[in-house]
Amino acid sequence: MELYIGSKNYSSWSMRPWLVMKHFDLPMQEHLVAFDDFSADGQFKQLMSLISPSGKVPTLIDQDIVVWDSLAICEYLAERFPEKHLWPIDKTQRARARSICAEMHSGFSTLRQYCGMNIEADLRFIGSKLWNDLAGLRADIARIEHIWAERPEIHGFLCGDFSIADAFYAPVVMRFVSYGLPISEQSQQYMQNILTNPAVIQWITQAQAEKQFVQHQEPYRQHREQFLRS
Ligand SMILES: N[C@@H](CCC(=O)N[C@@H](CS)C(=O)NCC(=O)O)C(=O)O
């Protein structure tokens, strides 16, 4: 199976199915298509429009089957490898896992808009300002913390063992770290569970090594001084 992903520093949607495939040791040939300005004649769009109907990452190719969109890919993998239990075995937890993935997939717009994933960057200077200024951001984070607090075991994952649900919330953990957002102790415990996962460590290490910065993904890096003064 071939998984097309974007730059590891930025591509939160790519991180999700990649983590699932790594964590569950699924056969994967990875193709990293580095982010550019996403213009129609740029390398990213030129390649991805040949691979995927959406022209976006992530996209999975399994022989003659093409699956695009992170959630669709994870559902496809769960169906393709039922013995791996990518969704929780327990029916109640499985329903919860599906619900919180769908909630992540379609929600948390303020967090997504203002705190794009940027693993390599230290954005704590802007994180505290965003936290103070944006009620929507505080509401998104409160909801995420509530979801995390409902995990069955404090030392465990969101719905028991590591599942697709954790892969869906891992990029949020990356954002909480980069932007230094004020998170409860209980949530920090969950963040540690994610940050010590071997697949997550591998993604972070590779993201930090990339050092290929793209302007439209960097609303803050260039303006650090200006933000600090304002
Ligand atoms: N809902 C999609 C979102 C995919 C998406 O927006 N991918 C971004 C990278 S993280 C992309 O390829 N952007 C290129 C573009 O917008 O043209 C998913 O879950 O896979």
pLDDT, tens digit, 9 for 90 and up, residues 171-206? 999 999 999 999 999 999 999 999 999 999 999 999
With cut-offs at 50, 70 and 90, classify the pLDDT of residue 223. confident
Average pLDDT for 134-157: 97
Q: Identify the pLDDT of residue 191.
A: 98
For residue 219 the two structure tokens come to: 């609303």
Calpha distance 7→1 (Å, rounded): 19
Strand-pairing partners, residue 157, are: 160
Helices 91-106 and 164-178 meet at what angle, rounded to 10? Answer: 40
Q: Identify the pLDDT of residue 230.
A: 64
The residue among 16, 8, 36, 5 whose CA lies nearest residue 172 is 16
Q: Outline which parts of the chain fall under CATH 3.40.30.10.
A: 2-84
Residues 168/16, Cβ–Cβ less than 8 Å: yes
DSSP 8-state symbol, 81: -
Average pLDDT for 1-16: 98
Q: Outline which parts of the chain fall under CATH 1.20.1050.
A: 91-229
Residues 61/46, Cβ–Cβ less than 8 Å: no
For residue 82 the two structure tokens come to: 């039922």
With cut-offs at 50, 70 and 90, classify the pLDDT of residue 225. low
Distance 57 CA to ligand 1 centre (A): 5
In terms of pLDDT, which residue wins out, 230 or 122?
122
Calpha distance 170→39 (Å, rounded): 28
Calpha distance 74→80 (Å, rounded): 10
> Does ligand 1 come within 6 angstroms of the Cβ of 166?
no
With cut-offs at 50, 70 and 90, classify the pLDDT of residue 222. confident
Computed over every residue of the chain, the mean pLDDT equals 96
The amino acid at residue 82 is P
Question: Architecture of domain 91-229 in CATH?
Answer: Up-down Bundle (1.20)
> Does ligand 1 come within 6 angstroms of the Cβ of 57?
yes
Calpha distance 204→194 (Å, rounded): 11
Does residue 140 carry a pLDDT above 80?
yes
Distance 54 CA to ligand 1 centre (A): 8
Angle at 33 between CA 31 and CA 38, to 5 degrees: 155
Q: Convert the pLDDT of each residue in 45-98 to its tens digit.
A: 999 999 999 999 999 999 999 999 999 999 999 999 999 999 999 999 999 999
Strand-pairing partners, residue 201, are: none
> Does ligand 1 come within 6 angstroms of the Cβ of 227?
no
> Does ligand 1 come within 6 angstroms of the Cβ of 11?
yes
Q: Identify the pLDDT of residue 170.
A: 98
204: Cβ contacts below 8 Å, ≥ 6 apart = 119, 174, 195
Check whether the bond before 58 is cis (ω within 30° of 0).
Answer: yes
CATH class of 2-84: alpha beta
Calpha distance 19→41 (Å, rounded): 30
Q: Identify the pLDDT of residue 228.
A: 65
Cα distances from 128 to residues 115, 121, 133, 218, in angstroms, run: 11, 15, 9, 17
